[in-house]
Amino acid sequence: MTTVLIVDDQPMQRFGFRMLLESQDDLSVAGEASGGSEAVREVDRLHPDIVLMDIRMPGLDGIEATRRIVAAGARTRVLILTTFDLDEYAYAGLRAGASGFLIKDAQPEELLAGIRAVASGDAVVAPSLTRRLLDTYAGHLPTGRPDDDTLTPDPRLTSLTEREREILTVVGQGWTNLEIAARFHLAESTVKTHVGRILAKTGARDRVQAVILAYDCRLVTPN
């Protein structure tokens, strides 16, 4: 059973999510919070598997709440809830440690699939959307290429093999395991093993954080 904490300042929004989640045999609502400060307290009290975190809330917003939850070392994974076209803060939410993001007006089956994907460890809910969001809001990242002699190599990459570096690059481009397997002529299970090693060696919490790492290290650059 995957437990979910719903965080949104709109009661009707919380009600809608609760109704959807409670209709599923494998998901349960651990609790609700109407703001960021309450969310941090509830995570510490309830230890949910997943937090559905709104960004725009009065008081402590979802980004800072996410940062505090992650900094506390909680096993809880945070999914940012965003309207995307209006919410330029989703990228900052990912940088704060969120495991992915969901679109508020997504179809119910998409939302449920996203929650289950993150709960099972596949943090990239929508790879193409992750790439689009990062491309839009990554303009402040350092310029240059990783082979630029004036740049100091990122120490997080030094322990990676050449194949792991290649796979990190395409993970950063939003490729799924199946697509990576086809490109490199590998079994999908082998790709999962490589991704797991990349996360362990770089200290990335999950796959979305690996995408951000690929941008930080300039293995991938915004379009």
Instruction: For 81-136, write each residue's pLDDT tens digit.
Output: 877 655 567 677 777 888 877 777 778 888 888 888 788 776 544 555 555 666 66
Low-confidence ranges of the chain (pLDDT < 70): 84-88, 90, 122-153, 222-223
Question: Measured between alpha carbons, how far is residue 60 from residues 4, 52, 68 in Å?
Answer: 20, 15, 11
Could you tell me if residue 220 is left (phi over 0), alpha (psi between -120 and 50 degrees) or otherwise beta?
beta
DSSP 158: T
Question: Do 85 and 29 sit in the same domain of this protein?
Answer: yes
Same domain for 117 and 14: yes
Last residue of a domain, one of 72, 107, 125: 125
Backbone angles phi, psi at 169, to 5 degrees: -60, -45
pTM of the model: 0.72
Shared domain check, 202 and 112: no
The pLDDT value recorded for residue 154 is 80
Note whether 27 and 84 are same-domain residues: yes
* Domain with 16 in it: 2-125
Q: How far apart are CA 185 and CA 71, in angstroms?
A: 38
Domain count, the chain: 2
In this structure, are 12 and 84 located in the same domain? yes
Residue with tokens 């975190």, as numbered in its chain: 53
CATH of the domain at 101: 3.40.50.2300
